[in-house]
Structure 1
């Protein structure tokens, strides 16, 4: 079984990605209502709910299961594209940033620890 060690750089980069994603997720609420005609209750649940999940996931990044939660957030972000089609693209960008944050931080910290 492969171990997953959380490093400080992973926490910083991961929290940065999730923090910016929380802002974008909150901002899809008015776009969904005004531009795409989504019912307000659904738009608020999806947009603000995703933003809250981003913040909670960022707080959990001290532990390995926080990265599982963050990965679930990435899937949910892409799925909000069914409400606001632009989120298919933005969710994909944040997913790429999330994956990059994990691998780059591990690689950089692996090199500096030698």
Structure 2
């Protein structure tokens, strides 16, 4: 799960940065506010890469997805990109957990097989 989720989060890192460049063109938004929000979101996406397997890591990832979708109120294209990355996040968590389960059962089967009578 860690690899799939981290890949999604790193992709979001770049999307957040590009969204900041687009938001910077809006005269109604202060540049310092845009870059403060973007910096926090970008830092969160990178920090979450190391926190995925810890308690609350996946939930923080979902909060980041909601934040990306909500940023569509300032950069309308982010409604689409936020929804796209929310789908990728779901797939990363869902299929990552399935892959982890398959790896664990395979490792257990290998451990049982090597402990059999032919191991000696």
Q: TM-score interval w.r.t. the shorter chain?
A: 0.7 to 0.9
Paired residue total: 104
1:31 alignment partner in structure 2: 22
Deviation per residue, 1:52-104 (Å, 9 max, x gap): 11111112113131111111111111111111111111011110000001111
1:95 alignment partner in structure 2: 86
> Map of 1:1-114 to 2, 5 A cutoff?
10-34=1-25, 36-37=26-27, 38-112=29-103, 113-114=105-106
Alpha-carbon distance in structure 2 between the residues aligned to 1:17 and 1:87: 16
TM-score calculated relative to the size of structure 1: 0.82
Gaps of 5+ in 1: 1-9
TM-score calculated relative to the size of structure 2: 0.78
Alpha-carbon distance in structure 2 between the residues aligned to 1:49 and 1:106: 28
The alignment's C-alpha RMSD in Å is 1.5
